[in-house]
Structure 1
Amino acid sequence: MHCFKAHVRVTFFKGTELKPMPAKESKVAGVRYYDITEAAGIDEKQFVDWVKQAVLLPGEKM
């Protein structure tokens, strides 16, 4: 997660495996972002669904 002045960015390290994929692309393969702004708010239903999907994916090996 990154916190900026205008938005909060949630990073899904295997975001290309989520259905539907979060909209924002990354330069890093497989990574997708979900930006939350005050104006747009948060799509709670979709966010919860992504988190539930992400929990089931294998973790990153560092």
Structure 2
Amino acid sequence: MVPEEARPSTRLINHDPGLDSYNGGVYVLLAFEMFCGSEPLGNLSKTTLQYLRYRYLCMCLKE
């Protein structure tokens, strides 16, 4: 199933630990997106985290 020319790859991305109790799920979803191939967003401001929470909420409510 895996092509012969496929090579395992790793990358290390350091992120600051979350300091609040309501963004943990956002960090998990972002990690999963990066695992699936999305580019890292870099430093995440409070405004960016708020936008991502609403983005994921809209994705969940979409029919």
Between structures 1 and 2, the one with greater helix share = 2
TM range, smaller chain: 0.3 to 0.5
Higher relative contact order (CA 8 A, sep 6+): 2
Task: Give the TM-score normalised by structure 2.
Answer: 0.35
Task: Give the TM-score normalised by structure 1.
Answer: 0.36
